[in-house]
Structure 1
Amino acid sequence: MLHYDDILVNIVGEFGTYQKIALFLLGIGGTVPSALLVISPVFLLATTDSWCIVPDRYKISKRVCFNNITESCEDLVKHLIIPKETRNFGCKSVLVFDQCRRYNISYDSVTDYSEAYIDQYLNNTETMKCDLGWEYDTSQYKSTVSQEFDLVCDRFYLNALASSVYMLGMLGGSVILVIFFGQFGRMDQFMMSYILLIVTGILEAFSPNYVVFAVLRFFMAAGQYGIFISAFTLVSEYVGPTKRAITGMIYMAHLSVGYMILAGYAYFIRDWWILQLVIVVPCIMFLSYYWIIPESPRWLISVGRTEKAVETIKLFARVNKVTIPEDLFNQDLDSDDDIIHFHEKTYSGNQNNYCCADLLRYPNLRLKFLILCYNWAITSLVYYGISFDTSSLGGNAYLNVLFAGAVEIPAYISGMILMDVPRIGRRRSLLIAWGLVGVACSVLAFIPTCGGNYRVRLALVLLGKFGITCAFGMVRVYAAEIFPTPLRSEGLAMCSVCAYTGGILAPQLILMGELWKPLPKLIYGITSIIAGILVIYLPETRGKQLSETIEKAEQFGKKVKKHRVSSKTNDIEESRLLK
């Protein structure tokens, strides 16, 4: 029996020229649009100052300006029609115009008015909720989703809900990918996911109301997830077994390119719907991949399409400038699939009759499973929380996103290097990453946003983003090495669900910052420190053989008590003497 992995390792090459080209193309097509869409709410859903629309606003302005009471006429008019409230900005409390109330004022009430009686006039004027809508500050953004659908005051929570719906859509995407696309190949999944994303993404730009916007956002996220995971699967199946970890990290590193591109797009495009179209419409060119990038040979072999698989393997060899023996394919091909794609098995059942409950049946395995689930959830909570909340830094929002994206490249590289250092390994690498996140976020929580603290806050955010990006990649490699082969798919699937949960909660946690500004960062810091402490209880997997059975996984990392070891040694010694 001829195994696919043996062909890659011994003949074609585990990571030759063709695989590198495919990694580049799929990295751009699979991750850059994903990054653009996931982080786009920073600009699409940006909040701006708003004020109530007042009846006869321009007639009042014309009268006051005509009397030429003051040089800053428009400021005086706003002072006349909009009350002020005290708001805490970290360093001090200041008076700002109320976004949800206005004075009950009309044109007729401003008949005899002079600057000397402003305070007396306002003290005798009652306030009321905005009843005619809002007008917005358009000095930075010409339009945003928040402005389009009036997501302010009693509807302000809908802003964060839209981001949570997107993350929920990614969870839904994993279900759609399995139930509806499961019988198709990797490239077919890639194409169908792109069609779903393009159609819903374009329609979203013309949403007539918030409900339609949110529903389309859910399905667009499902398509984005399908693109990301199908391209990742293709990349993993193109390369040999010893190159999959580094290939996966390089693939993930392409996300940072998307973040940096988004900063440039948003700087020059200040209308949300145009920015949405600029992100989505160019994705049409990635449909050409159907004719450029071949189907996975591993999948083709698994479904019996060996002739097509042989053609693809020969293509690999030609580009890699390798000669294949003429009689190589006289034997039957087998996929020898030691990659277990948990996305395909989560909802389709397990042929070995194992289930998720088995992960909780054994005490040592249960402990490792729960620790990994918590780690996955916190990586998503903190990663997306920091990414979505860059506007709270102050300073230039576009530079903030640019820097946050750029720092991911050295983070992924550092993660790859640290995990393979003999004295550090997987566990200590993850400990270092969580330590960086915990310290950076905890300190950041108490650095005021005002004053000259922008650079300090930016440095702490970038340090936290560096650490959480490292943890984001590390914990996924670590989990795959800890779970036993019969339960690897189930373990990764459940960890993935926990990660989606963290992503869904991230926007809501940012929203809670309205109650107390330091709260989100403080929670990031505390939960990260707890994650690091829990990692101590996980075994080191670097250089270790993967557990092939549940029994071995249960024993792996379990500490043996000394008195038991001594007793066993004495028994062996007594047996030897009797002989």
Structure 2
Amino acid sequence: MTKIRGTTHKCRKFDDILVYLGEFGTYQKCCYYLLCLMAILPACHAFAQVFLAAETDHWCHVPEFNEVKCSLNNSVPFCQDMMKNLSIPLEESSDQCGDGLVYSNCERYENMTYTNDTIECDHGWIYDRSQYKSSIFQEFDLVCGRYYLGALSSSAHMAGLFIGSVGFGGLSDRIGRLPALMVTALCMTISGTACAFSPNIQAYSIFRLFVGASQMGMFMVTFVLATELVGPSKRVFAGAVIEFYFSFGYMLLAFLAYFIRYWWILQLCLSLPASIFLIYWWLIPESPRWLISVGKTEKAAAIIRECAEVNRVTVPNSVYEELNEYTGDLKQNSGSFLDLLRLPNMRMKSLNLFYNWFTISLVYYGLSLNTSNLGGNDYLNAFLSGAVEIPAYTLSIFLPETRFGRRWSQSSTLILAGVACILTLLAPVCKMQWIGITLAMIGKFSVSAAFAIVYIFSAEIYPTPVRTIGLGLSSMCARIGGILAPQMILIKTLWEPLPIIIFGATSILAGLVTLLLPETRNQKLPETLEEGELFGTAYAKLSVDDGEKKDQTVLEATV
């Protein structure tokens, strides 16, 4: 026997109230599109390291050449090549498609007369600044023996995402969506600005940790608040459209980076605008759904009245009376992350979703690493990487609303991504590269659609008291997948196809286990812990649609 904490009450669900307010009326639209703007900055910070820490060609600084000047007829590149030819040894370099000789990055000739002896760079390095005028790679000399420090900031950022997933998820469920959102905006402004003035790589990495935490918190809380304002038939639309703004942020980053070639200026441009969102404290309401779930019904009623006035509709007085009458029961309905694992049915659904999020992130970033070596213009590649997700998010709007529903849409996109990964093993590596690139884009397209769907799918499965923390824990699992994705390069030393096989197999398996989850299309959001536990089971059919009290024997049923 497992007794579900909290009691069921007569109070109307917020979805019932939306019957009077409208599922996506003028009031909700204004709030929703303002919130969507907050998805832009997290995307910029998510991929900013591509430009902030861009690696450039470098070679040993040789003081003997300080006084050497080329003639006016010679270009700067010609002068650099001439000096490197005299002072820098050549070494073999190979890739999958050929061999060649390149100038050493970490050694120079010991002297100019006897050129067989080499030594490590002892007077610093010279960097190719033709494309990137400044990056942390150049700023902090993250080369040769210090190369490993370059991964420090990336690891710190991933750790920040991990912390932000759980920290801001729990904070949002405890103090409210809007206050937590303001904390993320303030944290992003302060830590992002501090990053730009970091004196060394260690300080930069610490500040990047806080940027990562605020970045994840901002997007996650924004997503939850935005989707909690709309009705069941509009949740997929609301969940997918916000992803368009995320893609726009990715493309905006490439645009800004093209014109801003100094890393610290770019960092400031990405961080300071977060302070603008602090005015949302006066523009955006708290989630009425959350207020009802924690018993703050007077505040919820005030927001409902304001919404009704803007939408020009009338809400019966009985709705407000029911909200006030059962405040005591509502206050007992708060939950914690333990409730996701304590209740048997909720535990199975949560573990399933955790694996989904882990796999999607693993495959998404794994494919991104494979497509990052396409060559060509860095800024154009980054822009296209964001643009290719737009049709994926478009698909994620319409497919879950068809007869496929959420479950089959999620399953099919994951399976397609896995199959595309496996097929890349059959594509030529050096000849007809477009085949492998096309398959990689199909894989990224599919997993991007799965990423958009899993957000709304998860938000509909988790009950209101633990919805944000549920998304936070799910996102935490995604961060683990994101951390592991770059490590796949190490597995290549064991067997070249192994990483792709892992990506494909885990994605296909995730698509299959998704079918064990309940369908949520056109279903009312579970607003209490007991409703979340019963959702997707035979007991859920015993609930009464008009909000009357469920039979107490159902709530304390053996599960």
What TM-score, normalized by structure 2, do the two folds share?
Answer: 0.80
Q: Deviations over 1:429-466 (max 9, x none)?
A: 3343224323444455676787784x555544432221
1:518–1:260 distance in 2 versus 1, CA, 3 Å: farther
Letter in 1 for 2:378: A
SS in 1 for 2:193: helix
1:291 is aligned to 2:282: yes
SS in 2 for 1:141: coil
**Residues 194 and 227, structure 1, Cα contact 8 Å, conserved in 2:** yes
**Residues 172 and 468, structure 2, Cα contact 8 Å, conserved in 1:** no
Q: 438-447 or 4-13: which moved more?
A: 438-447
Name the CA distance, whole Å, in 2 between partners of 1:16 and 1:507.
44
Letter in 1 for 2:394: I
**Residues 160 and 507, structure 1, Cα contact 8 Å, conserved in 2:** no
SS in 2 for 1:215: helix
**Residues 186 and 296, structure 1, Cα contact 8 Å, conserved in 2:** yes
Give the number of equivalent residue pairs. 520
User: How far did 1:267 drift?
Assistant: 1.0
Letter in 1 for 2:391: P
User: Relative contact order, CA 8 A, sep 6+: which one is greater?
Assistant: 2
Residue 436 (structure 1) aligned to one of 410, 416, 440? 416
User: How far did 1:210 drift?
Assistant: 0.6
1:378 is aligned to 2:387: no
Query: Which residue does 2:62 correspond to in 1?
Result: 54
1:138 is aligned to 2:129: yes
After TM superposition, the structure 1 = structure 2 runs for residues 216-227 of structure 1, keeping only pairs within 5 Å, are 216-227=207-218
**Residues 169 and 472, structure 2, Cα contact 8 Å, conserved in 1:** no
SS in 2 for 1:254: helix
Query: Which residue does 2:117 correspond to in 1?
Result: 126
User: How far did 1:509 drift?
Assistant: 3.8
Name the CA distance, whole Å, in 1 between partners of 2:350 and 2:486.
26
Letter in 2 for 1:171: F
Letter in 1 for 2:199: P
1:473 is aligned to 2:452: yes
Query: Which residue does 1:26 correspond to in 2?
Result: 35
Query: Which residue does 1:150 correspond to in 2?
Result: 141
Query: Which residue does 1:399 correspond to in 2?
Result: 380
Name the CA distance, whole Å, in 2 between partners of 1:531 and 1:216.
35
Cα RMSD over matched residues? 3.9
User: How far did 1:478 drift?
Assistant: 4.4
User: How far did 1:487 drift?
Assistant: 9.3
SS in 1 for 2:131: coil
User: How far did 1:264 drift?
Assistant: 0.6
1:268–1:187 distance in 2 versus 1, CA, 3 Å: same
Query: Which residue does 2:394 correspond to in 1?
Result: 413
User: How far did 1:3 drift?
Assistant: 2.3
1:76 is aligned to 2:66: no
Query: Which residue does 1:264 correspond to in 2?
Result: 255
User: How far did 1:305 drift?
Assistant: 4.4
Residue 189 (structure 1) aligned to one of 180, 192, 216? 180
Letter in 2 for 1:356: L
**Residues 239 and 455, structure 2, Cα contact 8 Å, conserved in 1:** no
Letter in 1 for 2:474: C
**Residues 340 and 347, structure 2, Cα contact 8 Å, conserved in 1:** no
After TM superposition, the structure 1 = structure 2 runs for residues 163-174 of structure 1, keeping only pairs within 5 Å, are 163-174=154-165
After TM superposition, the structure 1 = structure 2 runs for residues 377-526 of structure 1, keeping only pairs within 5 Å, are 377-387=358-368, 391-422=372-403, 424-444=404-424, 453=433, 458-479=437-458, 494-509=473-488, 523-526=502-505
Name the CA distance, whole Å, in 2 between partners of 1:251 and 1:36.
14
Name the CA distance, whole Å, in 1 between partners of 2:140 and 2:288.
48
Query: Which residue does 1:250 correspond to in 2?
Result: 241
Query: Which residue does 2:553 correspond to in 1?
Result: none
**Residues 421 and 503, structure 2, Cα contact 8 Å, conserved in 1:** yes
User: How far did 1:138 drift?
Assistant: 1.1
**Residues 146 and 159, structure 1, Cα contact 8 Å, conserved in 2:** yes
1:88 is aligned to 2:68: no
User: How far did 1:27 drift?
Assistant: 0.7
Name the CA distance, whole Å, in 1 between partners of 2:17 and 2:422.
47
User: How far did 1:206 drift?
Assistant: 0.8
Name the CA distance, whole Å, in 1 between partners of 2:125 and 2:229.
54
1:345–1:435 distance in 2 versus 1, CA, 3 Å: same
User: How far did 1:191 drift?
Assistant: 1.2
Residue 267 (structure 2) aligned to one of 276, 294, 300? 276
Name the CA distance, whole Å, in 1 between partners of 2:62 and 2:391.
52
**Residues 356 and 491, structure 1, Cα contact 8 Å, conserved in 2:** no
**Residues 220 and 472, structure 2, Cα contact 8 Å, conserved in 1:** no
**Residues 173 and 465, structure 2, Cα contact 8 Å, conserved in 1:** no
Residue 44 (structure 1) aligned to one of 35, 39, 52? 52
Name the CA distance, whole Å, in 1 between partners of 2:34 and 2:212.
21
Letter in 2 for 1:436: L
1:529–1:10 distance in 2 versus 1, CA, 3 Å: closer
SS in 2 for 1:315: helix
SS in 1 for 2:66: helix
Name the CA distance, whole Å, in 2 between partners of 1:296 and 1:316.
12
Ranges in structure 2 where 5+ consecutive residues have no aligned partner: 1-9, 540-559
Query: Which residue does 1:5 correspond to in 2?
Result: 14
Q: 311-320 or 439-448: which moved more?
A: 439-448
User: How far did 1:287 drift?
Assistant: 1.5
User: How far did 1:284 drift?
Assistant: 2.1
Q: Deviations over 1:516-542 (max 9, x none)?
A: 987765653443344345546667666
Letter in 2 for 1:219: F
Name the CA distance, whole Å, in 1 between partners of 2:469 and 2:218.
22
1:518–1:93 distance in 2 versus 1, CA, 3 Å: farther
Letter in 2 for 1:396: N
1:182–1:487 distance in 2 versus 1, CA, 3 Å: closer
- Bigger-Rg structure (1/2): 1
